[in-house]
Structure 1
Amino acid sequence: MVAAGLAVFMAMLDSYVVVVALPDLGTSLAVTPGLLPWVVLGYSLAMAAVVLPAGRWLDGVGHRPALLAAVGAFATAGIGCALAPSIEVLLAARVVQGAAAAVLTALTPVLAAVAVAPQRRGRAMGVVSVLGPLGALTGPAVGGWLAEALGWRALFLINLPVAMTVAVIALRSLPSGQPVSGPDRRLVAQVALLGGAVLAILAGLSLASRADVAWAATALLAVPLLLVWARLPSSAPVLQLLTVRSVTGGLVALALVSVVTSGLIYAVPLALAGRAGSTAVESGLALSALSLAMLVLAPVAGVLADRFGADRVARAGAVLAATGLVVLLPLDPTWGVPDLSWRLAVVGAGTSLFVGPNQAMLMTAAPRPLLGSTGGASGAARAVGFGLGPALVAATWTSTDAVAGLRWSLVVLCSAALLAAGCLHASGRRFRTAT
């Protein structure tokens, strides 16, 4: 279980750690402004495209060899990023790294689910599932310090000790299992279709600020690609999984709460940057309250889920996160870091109460032969949410007033949290274990 937690933390940390160093990276490699965002987007796109097929692949391979292969690919690609002589090499390595991160993301809940008895699954998921968002929150803070001290290339080496630790733990604690075989052509076709769909959606959202309908037309290109994907025979297990009502509700809720987390990561620094005298350190301190609350309450969330029911605790967590967003709405330009921090801590507490219990509910409700697919679907939902959060904030940030812009964003994020609670309620007060 320790290996699972470290793996997902490593994957999510690397998705955001480079953000603060993009200007220095662009200068060093003489990158054009249009290519620079793809250092982040290439990783995210590969992760979103691969995570669902990766879950299906994991249903048929051993967990230890799959984990070792993914960690090895991730670490090797990180070294390639650090040594990249050009932006083209860097982008290629980032795509490989994102694909490896997708396998780690899909595998993590599976490892946690099989490591403990079902009645203790909430505690296991409470600790493991919160480490992904924590990695995303930690990335910019660690990246800023490390880039300033050692340069941008060091950012891609930060996870090497973590990767080595995961590999050692896996070799010592996991059974050998079936040997790893490469994905077949059907899974490769899934990656191509899902990657095209995600690319269309991201491209459409990037055009959302335009007055014409080009953004909607671009995003709608994802629809035929998803329809073709749904008709592939290799997609049948995932579609079968979605017939389980509690699984569908849990996945939609997970995507919505991921929108909340990623939206705040984007919105809070943007709002503070528009205030005179504000610094990046203040943004980091404010967001650290969010991550600290998540970390402290993760074990508590697991205990509560095992005692009172994972679905009930997850619903309460989504409502608490919405409450934290509501108390942020009266935002005043005179607020300091403490004023923001305790309110963000309420959001973090709600997120922590949601994430672990919701993942426990998903892994318990899913048929055992489809645990890998369930992990992949969870990773896909999380990736979609993390991609949509900043895009929705940017689309609603129509005011030049930073405070007004943040308020509109908070309304959107609060709506997402309440919708997540509604999805869990609609999927049934008590979920049935699928057989």
Structure 2
Amino acid sequence: MTDGTDRGGPRPVGPAEDERDRWWLVVAAGLAVFMASVDMSIVNVALPAIERDFQNSTSTTEWTVLAYLLPLAGLALPSGRWLDSVGRRPALLFSLTGFALASTAAGLAPGMDWLIAARLAQGTFGALLFSLVPALATSAVRPQARGRAMGLITTLGPLGLICGPGLGGLVVDVLGWPWIFFVNIPVSVLVMAAGARMLPQGAPLTVPDRAWFAESLLLSAAVAALLLALSLTASDGPVWVLLALLALPLLFLWLRMPTSGAVRQLFRTPGEMGPHVALVSAATAIGTVFFITPYFMQRELGESVSAAGVTILAFPAGMALMGPVGGFLGDWWSRRRTAVLGAALFTVGMALLLPMDHSWGTADLSWRLFLAGCGNGLFNAPNMAIAMTRTPRPLLATTGASTSLARQMGFALGPALATLVWSASSYEPEGMRGAMTLATAVGALSVLALVRTRLPGEEAAPARKEPAKDEPAADGSAA
């Protein structure tokens, strides 16, 4: 049963599409995004050991984390544009080889300068992987199965981010901190083997032009200013405001560059703006929850750190449970309606957290977090499937990059907004409730964005136009 509203129409017939779904390629792509997501958070738990071994200050050691995050955000859009012009197979092999070599260099680092440089390289190749994986999953299956494919991808990515600290603690205790980087090597080799076997050769890699490097530098500077501003929102003085304002002219200059044309074309495509707004809204709300909840449990409920950690796992448990369901329901019923249903359930879970009652126990928090996680899991896959299905064929990697950037900026914005609201109450419990109220309102924005999204062909799903002779196909080769 289907209403035919947003499934992308009948499967196109062309050289970019196999007659069968390549699910092992989707699994391999999911494993790659899980690995790159783990590396966003796995280092956090190892920072004390790294600081002790290299005898550096805490402020310097923190750059082990920031050095990875900066290129992930700054290079997301440029990498997507470049990946749309090359073959998927050489791009995947290049990205994974670079990620594995950078991980090896990080594990062998003799000092902090070396480690920070290796983490910058890791983040650079991680940006390529985050942009490439949605395009791989999209081209690996027929349009009718893309919701299920996105269900796997959008579940493994956030799970990697959330599981990072727990996995890192185990690895550091048993093997030592260098092994949090060495474990990436066998995973990279496994995914490379799958990609080399299942992907066509496609167009060869080409060196980006000078405009690409100028765009990357401009966007990286803007992202650096924004990230620093977000990290200083609770401090005294106008420094964070000045940093945030510095990003505006940089972004304006980027919009004036011809290289931003692909992104402008993407957001002029009907049906693209809504999923992106919904994604950044949901990620901002999640970032707030994961920031405020540990403080509430430890300061107001008197729970231990381990109890807080276990309780928060209720959210990813719900997300993992409902992620595949959201993908299947989106393919079988309607992607937009499933995404709206998930976003609404997520917002209800957020609203139920609002009282933050001092009489609550861990069970009271757990079921509310689980409900919000179920809603987010139901939302993620169909929302991504809408974005990836509605994008023009030559912009698949650009869309993967833009959705990755939206998610990352939301996760960064959530704690910053929570800190700003909480600090306004001198860090009293009322400030925590205020932060959660704002998060609930932002979560509701994801519902509104999807409800207001009108997809072409909602009454009847038209056949997708086949690519022209000189149009890049889904694997990056000439169609």
Against the structure 1 CA distance between its residues 135 and 423, is the aligned structure 2 distance closer, same or farther, given a 3 Å change threshold?
same
User: Which of 252, 256, 262 is 1:231 aligned to?
Assistant: 256
User: Which of 121, 126, 142 is 1:96 aligned to?
Assistant: 121
Q: CA deviation at 1:267?
A: 2.5
Scaled by the length of structure 2, the TM-score of the pair is 0.86
* Contact 2:80–2:131 under 8 Å retained in 1: yes
Aligned to 1:394: 419
* Equivalent position SS for 1:35: helix
Q: CA deviation at 1:101?
A: 0.9
Q: CA deviation at 1:275?
A: 4.8
- Kindly indicate whether residue 444 of structure 2 is the aligned counterpart of residue 408 of structure 1: no
Against the structure 1 CA distance between its residues 425 and 431, is the aligned structure 2 distance closer, same or farther, given a 3 Å change threshold?
farther
User: Which of 350, 364, 380 is 2:375 aligned to?
Assistant: 350
* Equivalent position SS for 1:339: helix
Q: Which whole-Å CA distance do the structure 2 matches of 1:116 and 1:196 have between them?
A: 37
Q: Report the residue type matching 1:372 in the other structure.
A: A
Highest relative contact order (Cα 8 Å, sep 6+), 1 or 2? 2
User: Which of 197, 202, 207 is 2:222 aligned to?
Assistant: 197
Q: Which whole-Å CA distance do the structure 2 matches of 1:305 and 1:111 have between them?
A: 19
Moved more, 336-345 or 11-20: 336-345
Q: Which whole-Å CA distance do the structure 2 matches of 1:407 and 1:157 have between them?
A: 41
- Kindly indicate whether residue 385 of structure 2 is the aligned counterpart of residue 360 of structure 1: yes
User: Which of 272, 284, 290 is 1:247 aligned to?
Assistant: 272
- Kindly indicate whether residue 74 of structure 2 is the aligned counterpart of residue 49 of structure 1: yes
Scaled by the length of structure 1, the TM-score of the pair is 0.95
Q: CA deviation at 1:270?
A: 3.0
Aligned to 2:55: 30
Q: CA deviation at 1:429?
A: 6.2
- Kindly indicate whether residue 428 of structure 2 is the aligned counterpart of residue 418 of structure 1: no
* Contact 1:263–1:393 under 8 Å retained in 2: yes
Moved more, 268-277 or 364-373: 268-277
* Contact 1:263–1:413 under 8 Å retained in 2: yes
Deviations 1:96-135 (A, max 9, x none): 1111111111111111111111122111111112211111
Q: Report the residue type matching 2:285 in the other structure.
A: V
Q: CA deviation at 1:224?
A: 0.9
Moved more, 117-126 or 271-280: 271-280
* Contact 2:99–2:125 under 8 Å retained in 1: yes
* Equivalent position SS for 2:136: helix
Aligned to 1:281: 306
* Equivalent position SS for 1:246: coil
Moved more, 356-365 or 26-35: 26-35
Q: CA deviation at 1:400?
A: 6.3
Q: Which whole-Å CA distance do the structure 1 matches of 2:302 and 2:236 have between them?
A: 33
Q: Report the residue type matching 1:410 in the other structure.
A: M
Aligned to 2:105: 80
Against the structure 1 CA distance between its residues 151 and 123, is the aligned structure 2 distance closer, same or farther, given a 3 Å change threshold?
same
Moved more, 46-55 or 212-221: 212-221
User: Which of 287, 302, 315 is 2:340 aligned to?
Assistant: 315
Q: CA deviation at 1:82?
A: 1.3
Aligned length: 435
* Contact 2:270–2:390 under 8 Å retained in 1: no
User: Which of 125, 129, 140 is 2:165 aligned to?
Assistant: 140
User: Which of 155, 160, 164 is 2:185 aligned to?
Assistant: 160
Q: Which has the higher helix share?
A: 1
Q: Which whole-Å CA distance do the structure 2 matches of 1:340 and 1:158 have between them?
A: 34
Q: CA deviation at 1:431?
A: 6.8
Any stretches of 5+ residues in structure 1 without a counterpart? none
Q: Which whole-Å CA distance do the structure 1 matches of 2:72 and 2:389 have between them?
A: 25
